[in-house]
Amino acid sequence: MHSPVRMCVVCRGRFPQESLLRLQYQDSKLQVFVGFGRSFYVCQNCQNAPKLSEHITKVCRLDKKHKETIKSALKEIFLYG
């Protein structure tokens, strides 16, 4: 069976969809994808990338001042799911 291929927003690598983490920025909050709205993918190699929050602020078209809130939200997502 064919598996959909998606792109990581950090490294631009293409991976099977089930191997990527799907996130979204909605209602001024970064969260795991809830089923509707725009989303983006991050591969497992890039989840510990030092510039992950910078890439996410760029993808979500946010100001640089949101970088710290993105970092804290990422830490929470990686710890608690």
Specify the CATH number for the domain of residue 65: 3.30.1230
**Residue 11: C-alpha distances to residues 14, 32, 36 (Å):** 9, 19, 24
What is the domain count for the chain? 1
In the block, residue with structure tokens 């760029």: 58
Q: What is the pLDDT of residue 80?
A: 83
- Measured CA to CA, the distance from residue 45 to residue 28 in angstroms comes to 26
What's the pLDDT tens digit per position in 54-72?
Answer: 999 999 999 989 899 999 9
pTM of the entire predicted model:
0.89
Residue numbers of the domain that contains 14: 5-80
Q: What is the pLDDT of residue 11?
A: 96
